[in-house]
A and B are shown apart, each in its own frame.
Chain A
Amino acid sequence: MDTARPTGRFDALRALADRHGRPGARLTESLSRARAQTPGAPAAWAPEIARRWGLPAAAGLGPASYYADLAAPHGRRHIRVCSAAACFAAEPGRGAADVERALGAGRADREAHAPADGTTVQSVRCLGHCYAAPAALDGDAPRTGPALIGQLTGREPPRAPQIPAFDSTGDPVLLGGVLAGEPAWAVWPEVVRSRTPEEVHAQVAASGLRGRGGAGFPVAAKWAAAGRGPGTVVIANGDEGDPGSYADRLLMEADPDRVLEGLALACFACGADRGVVLVRSEYPRALAVLEEAVARAYSDGHLGASVHGGATALDVEVVRGHGSYVAGEETALIAGLEGGRGTARPRPPCPTQHGLWDAPTVVNNVETLAALPWIVRRGGDAYARRGARPETGTKLVCLSERFARPGCYEVELGTPVDRIVTGLGGGLRDGAELAVLQIGGPLGGFLAPDALDVPLTERALSGRGAALGHAGLVAFDRRPEPLEVLRHVWEFAAAESCGACSPCRVGSRRGLELVAGGGAVPGRAPGPEYGRVLTVMSEASLCAFGKRVPAAVRSLARAYGDRLTGWER
């Protein structure tokens, strides 16, 4: 091959799939159908699926052995039990193993065979029910709360409350539809009739809107990088993997039309005639609701070959994810949509240049897109007056079950974190004492209770060794031991590292061994190897996941202070 061509990239298997009709997500869906109710390992069924698409065994075995949903054996009844941050904080030390014991089930992520009664239990990381933790999905039916096991054994009635949603701004950008019934698709017909892509782009540039998925990249700059090239695709990233966040689930389930209108506006501004909504499999309700909303949008003329009778053409499809945290990273998400393993790859090339099947591709988070109708209707300047310049606008923050008033709140960026914790969240429930607060998921960080006098902005939080991320706020009370919380963070890293690069693949496991091993003692500094592992991970990892885990575990140690002396190295 031409090795002197770094701007392109060559993946021979991908090129082969390209020549075989680009099965992409259809291949992964057929793998998923084969997996349903199959206890056997992927080797037993994945090669045959790939052959049906005219592809070699590796094209089936690759994704089938990578994605959590496809790799895990499925019995007739399959239960996904959340073991992520908010569920851990609600009931430290409990989880999938307890469900497995109570049901006499087989643990799908550990054993190769389902038990005779056909129930399998899979430990997953975040189902987006953090306000009512702990949580599980029995098939596609959510079950939540302290009586979780009773609900799964049938002794208790099922319980899965709606997401509590609140506005603290007085003029919500994102929750106007959810809370006040403001209809979506209000600006789109007028935009396609009488505005230009340049005008929409200019409004978004003036708004200062940044990506809300965690990276905070200026939206208008990303759109400009794609350059309205031919075949441009815009992807709505609904793979809300950050434990503790359920803002995207709220928007997709309670106001899918606003998400789709935002996607339509982004497509229009980027000159794209194709949009894709990627919804994680952990959100089955969101998937169904969005599919209905897309069908409705076609019949109402918002989408189609001639939008509202004009020259604009726009097709949108909804695609389901298949588990695994890193699969939400842009390059990994695109690899997944091409039918491959959802692992990160080096940049350049950036997706805006060489994305989905090499087309210019813009990936925007669901919450980012949901802000666009407001910005286009009220103007970029109006949005830029909100929030805390240069971090303009509002943000959805999600408060976990440990809070007295858990739920999803729309706040102005720059709102002091202590006001969110105390004023909105009401502090912790039952008078419990806050030990540490996790902000921004596994790539974010932890704050001590006396360090909450910080505005909710990326700049201010990174100054405290934390990060805004997707703004999930998970409160930990004083019940779990600090070393237990540290181990929990490493367990997440080791389980969810995509394996594409060695620093993260090996480092996350080694970090977990060093924290979970017998030599780990609170108050006693770990050996020098721990610091070397953190340095290699943060300096050398391929994507933000491995790069950020060290900062998160260091910030946890700092937040616990004396209780984790030495682990901040």
Chain B
Amino acid sequence: MILTVNGVPVDVPPGAWLLTAVRAAGTELPALCHDDRVGPNGSCRTCLVRAGGRITAACVTPAADGIEVETDTGDLRALRRDAVELIVSALPPRALEGADGETGGEALSELARTCASLGIPPEAARGSGDRGRDDSHPYVHLDRDLCIACGRCVRMCSEVQGAFAL
């Protein structure tokens, strides 16, 4: 199946999602709810592209032969940035800090690195952070204040672990 991403032809197997095609073309998109090990969820809505003239989340849109995908227009860049910033706006400031309170480097979470790459300042995180924690399990800890409801942990627990605990 051949489609174009920003004018570049890409060959993907039948049944692939647009996100696969975009990445195959060497273009990175924020995709906060995506993980290659589990099925797509389409919940964070940050991997926004224009396909066949319509804005859509690439991770849950099937690739189609001959379709033209755009990722690099001004409106799409702004929309992806604003979509991530909206998610971050509900989180407390510590969501964008590293484990040791640093604001740079490898200590940062994937979310913080994504924000940095999109030019979203740490001040964007200004939620009240009063939703509490669940530390009842010895090695799985739930900090509700940092949750972006991406569903990765739920899918990992059910689809990969088969534990269905979440």
Contact = CB atoms under 8 A, between A and B. Distances in A.
Interface stretch (B66-74, B80-88, B97-105, B114-122): B80-88
Given A345-B42, A502-B45, A535-B79, A3 B62 contact: no
A546 to B, nearest CB: 9
A7 B86 contact: no
Nearest to B89: A510
B82 A7 contact: no
A9 B62 contact: no
15 contacts: A3-B39, A4-B13, A5-B15, A6-B16, A9-B39, A10-B159, A11-B39, A16-B164, A346-B57, A500-B43, A501-B42, A510-B89, A532-B82, A536-B79, A542-B43
Contact of A502 (B38, B83, B158): B83
Interface in A487-535: 499-503, 505-507, 509-510, 532-533, 535
A409 B89 CA distance: 45
A540 B57 contact: yes
B159 A501 contact: no
A288 interface: no
A336 to B, nearest CB: 18
Given A1-B159, A58-B164, A506-B90, A6 B45 contact: no
Nearest to A538: B55
Contacts of B148: 502
Given A3-B39, A4-B15, A56-B164, A536 B62 contact: no
Interface residues of A, number: 37
Contact of B158 (A12, A500, A539): A12
Interface centre among B62, B79, B86 (most CB of A within 10 A): B86
Contacts of B158: 12-13, 16, 58
Q: Which of A9, A12, A502 has most chain B Cβ within 10 Å? A: A502
Interface in A50-84: 56-59
A7 B15 contact: yes
What is the interface of chain B mostly: helix, strand, loop, or mixed? loop
B34 to A, nearest CB: 10
Interface of A: 1, 3-7, 9-13, 16, 56-59, 345-346, 348, 499-503, 505-507, 509-510, 532-533, 535-536, 539-542
Contacts of B83: 502-503, 536, 540
Listed from nearest, the 4 A-B pairs whose CB atoms lie closest are: A12-B158, A346-B42, A56-B164, A346-B60
Contacts of A503: 45, 83, 86
Interface string B127-166: 0000000000000000000001100001100110010111
Nearest to A61: B166
A345 B17 CA distance: 16
B48 interface: yes
A56 B165 contact: yes
A536 B60 CA distance: 18
Given A506-B89, A509-B90, A58 B165 contact: yes
A542 B86 CA distance: 15
B109 to A, nearest CB: 16
Nearest to B36: A3
A59 B159 CA distance: 14
A11 B89 CA distance: 29
Nearest to B151: A500
B39 A1 contact: yes
B159 A542 contact: no
Contacts of A536: 79, 82-83, 86
Contacts of A4: 13-16
B108 interface: no
Contacts of B14: 4
B125 interface: no
Contacts of B79: 535-536, 539-540
B19 to A, nearest CB: 10
A12 B86 contact: no
A6 B58 CA distance: 12
B44 interface: yes
Given A56-B165, A536-B82, A539-B48, A505 B149 contact: yes
Given A4-B15, A57-B165, 8 more contacts: A12-B159, A58-B158, A346-B40, A501-B44, A503-B86, A506-B89, A507-B86, A535-B79
B149 A12 contact: no
A9 B36 CA distance: 15
Contacts of A9: 39
Nearest to A4: B15
Given A1-B159, A501-B45, A503-B83, A540 B16 contact: no
Contact of A540 (B13, B55, B62, B164): B55
Interface in B35-67: 36, 38-40, 42-46, 48, 55, 57, 60, 62
B43 A12 contact: no
Contact of B55 (A5, A348, A502, A539): A539
A535 B164 contact: no
Contacts of B60: 6, 346
B42 A12 contact: no
B149 to A, nearest CB: 6
A106 to B, nearest CB: 21
Contacts of A506: 86-87, 89-90
A383 B165 CA distance: 53
A501 B82 contact: no
Interface string B5-42: 00000000111110000000000000000001011101
A16 B161 CA distance: 13
Most buried by B among A6, A16, A345, A499: A6
A349 B60 CA distance: 10
